[in-house]
């Protein structure tokens, strides 16, 4: 199974979940890497992210088909509306999965393609959690795997350290498109990690950038505050 996603947290979640479902995923951190993998190996299913900087899901699927890759393909996206869903299905995807998705949702979508011996870790009981990091929702999304949650949160912490360095007061005006794309990926990462406050701040700023608001500075400040608070919680988790 070939999995392509430029967001490291999403890619880690999907590959870990697939292994626990009895699959042998090959991870690609972008469209070009997915093409290289497909040129040297065969796959029975493709799981492709819709928005990757080098080659998005629909274009990637078309390129794979041109190279003779006939495996069924599913699309993943952190932004999904009826028009986008219909367009992706029309481009040849058999299903479209909205991120963040839970372990159970992924299992249901992939059930026709799973090995008969596939299985998952048993869900675990979870203690009360702080508001910044919702362990209950994150563990539900990950099928109860605390090891997976720990690994994904480490990746998220790394993302936030980089974001903190890049998120200055003029970032939204200087490079709104690049920041919007980063927020798009960040929201999926937050969903997998239960970082609900940060996800809300990222969504608010992303919507403002897409609407070309006159002064996004207050939302940038709110995102910066949520980033710092979430990073502090992750470092003590």
Note the Cα 96 to chain centre separation in Å: 13
Q: E strand or H helix at 141, and its extent?
A: helix 135-141
| Residue pLDDT, tens place only, 28-39 | 999 999 999 998
C-alpha span between 187 and 6 (Å, rounded): 13
Work out the burial of residue 85: count CB atoms within 10 Å of its CB; fewer than 13 is exposed, 13-18 middle, 19 or more buried.
middle
- At 14, the pLDDT band (50, 70, 90 cuts) reads very high
| Residue pLDDT, tens place only, 19-66 | 998 889 999 999 999 999 998 888 989 999 988 988 888 899 999 988
Phi first, then psi: give them for residue 209, nearest 5 degrees.
-65, -40
Q: How many CA atoms lie within 13 A of 14 on its CB side?
A: 33
């Amino acid at each position: 199974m070939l999995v392509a996603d430029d967001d490291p947290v999403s890619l880690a979640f999907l590959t870990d979940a697939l292994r626990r479902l009895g699959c042998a995923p090959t991870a690609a951190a972008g469209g070009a890497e997915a093409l290289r993998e497909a040129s040297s190996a065969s796959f029975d299913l493709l799981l492709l992210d819709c928005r990757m900087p080098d080659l998005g899901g629909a274009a990637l699927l078309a390129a794979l088909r041109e190279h003779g890759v006939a495996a069924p393909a599913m699309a993943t996206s952190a932004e999904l509306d009826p028009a986008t869903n219909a367009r992706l299905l029309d481009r040849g995807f058999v299903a479209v999965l909205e991120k963040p998705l839970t372990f159970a949702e992924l299992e249901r979508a992939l059930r026709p393609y799973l090995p008969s011996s596939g299985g998952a870790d048993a869900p675990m009981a979870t203690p009360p959690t702080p508001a910044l990091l919702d362990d209950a929702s994150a563990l539900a999304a990950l099928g109860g795997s605390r090891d997976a949650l720990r690994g994904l949160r480490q990746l998220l912490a790394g993302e936030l350290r980089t974001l903190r360095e890049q998120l200055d007061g003029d970032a939204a005006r200087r490079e709104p498109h690049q920041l919007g794309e980063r927020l798009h990926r960040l929201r999926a990462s937050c969903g997998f990690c239960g970082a609900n406050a940060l996800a809300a701040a990222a969504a608010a700023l992303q919507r403002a950038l897409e609407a070309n608001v006159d002064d996004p500075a207050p939302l940038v400040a709110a995102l910066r505050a949520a980033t710092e608070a979430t990073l502090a919680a992750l470092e003590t988790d």
